[in-house]
Amino acid sequence: MLDEPSDRLINVFGALAQAVSDRVRIAIAEAFTAGGETAAALIAIGHDPGMSIDQISRILRLSHAGTVRVVERLDDQGFVGKSQSQSDRRVARITLTRRGHAERTKLLSLRNAAVSGLLVRVSANDRIVLERIADTILTSLLDDPQSALATCRFCDQARCLGCPMGTRRH
């Protein structure tokens, strides 16, 4: 059994997690004013095109009604399109439009810059160790493909070779 983490590590790690989250959300919010989980939805839909409202709702951890409103905001701005499921006509499949793909690319660039701005202050050797630690923690969080997408809803999967969440996402 592993030793229990120190109180200081718990506090420092919690503060770090919050600081990274805040930096990403602020960077995105300055460029994408739709608010709430709309940016996260746009990025997540690009991870797995054709998801249903129910799937998106589980990824965003929002109610069905809240997710419908988020998707409607994206649709009103021309970022997503809806099509009827082939297997269940009651289900709409959500995909990004060309405009949605372009906006997603812009948001991911902002997210990458926000995180990179923090990591450039860390030595190359420490970044290697940090990457290994992050992989270990992320893989311990996986329960199912939906939880992987929920965790990775702001990720740029094209830049995450060997993604620790990848094997459980599909």
Q: Write out pLDDT tens, residues 22-52.
A: 999 999 999 998 888 999 999 999 998 899 9
Task: State the maximum Cα–Cα separation within the chain, in Å, rounded to a whole number.
Answer: 53
Residue 14 burial class via C-beta count within 10 angstroms: exposed 0-12, middle 13-18, buried 19 and up: exposed
Question: Which amino acid, residue 79?
Answer: F
Look up residue 68 and give its two tokens.
């419908």
Half-sphere exposure of 64 (CA within 13 A, CB side): 4
What are the C-alpha distances in Å from 82 to residues 26, 53, 66, 128? Answer: 29, 10, 17, 41
Tell me the pTM. 0.87
In the chain, what are the domains? 14-165 (1.10.10.10)
pLDDT recorded at residue 155: 86
Per-residue pLDDT of the chain (170 residues; tens, 9 = 90+): 578 999 999 999 999 999 999 999 999 999 998 888 999 999 999 998 899 999 999 999 999 999 999 999 999 999 999 988 777 778 889 999 999 999 999 999 999 999 999 999 999 999 999 999 999 998 888 877 777 888 888 888 888 888 887 744 44
